[in-house]
Structure 1
Amino acid sequence: MMWRTLRLRTQLAAAMILAILLAILFGYVGLNLFARWQEQMMLNALDPVARQTLMEVNAGGRPPAAAAVALYKERVRIAQTIDHEQSVLLIGLAALASMFGIAVGLALATRLARPIEAVSHAARAITSGDLSARAAEGPPGAGELRQLLSDFNSMAEALEAYDRDLREGSAAIAHELRTPLTILRGRLQGQLDGVFATDGPAIAALIQEVDLLARIVEDLQTLSLANTGRLELNVRLADMALLAATHLHALEPILATAGMRLETRLAPTLVEMDEQRLGQVLLALVDNARRHAATGGVVEVETKIDGASALLIITDRGPGLPSHEPDQVFRRFWRGEPSRSRVHGGSGLGLAVVKAVVEAHGGTVLAGDRPDGGAVFHVQLPRQQRRGKA
Structure 2
Amino acid sequence: MDNTPFSPFSLEHVPFPALIVREGKTAVCNSAAAELLGLDPAGGPAPEFLSGFSSDSGPTVGTCAANGRTWRFSLSPQGDGLLAVLLPEDPVSSPFPGTAALLEQMRQNIGNLTAAAQLITPALQELGPKYEQYLAIMHQSFYRMLRLMNNAETAGALAEGRLTLSAAPLDLAGLCRELCRKVSGLAEAAGVSFRFDDRCGSLLTTGDSVLIQRMLLCLISNALQAAGSGGRAGLRLTETGGRALLTVWDSGPGLGSRSNAGGAGAGLPIARQIAALHGGALMLESRTGEGLRATVSLPVSRPEQPPLLRTPRQAADLTGGFSPVLIELSAVLPWQVFRQDGLE
Q: Shorter-chain TM-score category?
A: 0.3 to 0.5
Does 1 or 2 have the higher relative contact order (CA < 8 Å, sep 6+)? 2
- Hey, which of these two has a bigger chunk of strand by percent? 2
The structure with the largest alpha-carbon Rg is: 1
- Normalised TM-score (structure 2): 0.47
TM-score, normalising length from structure 1? 0.42
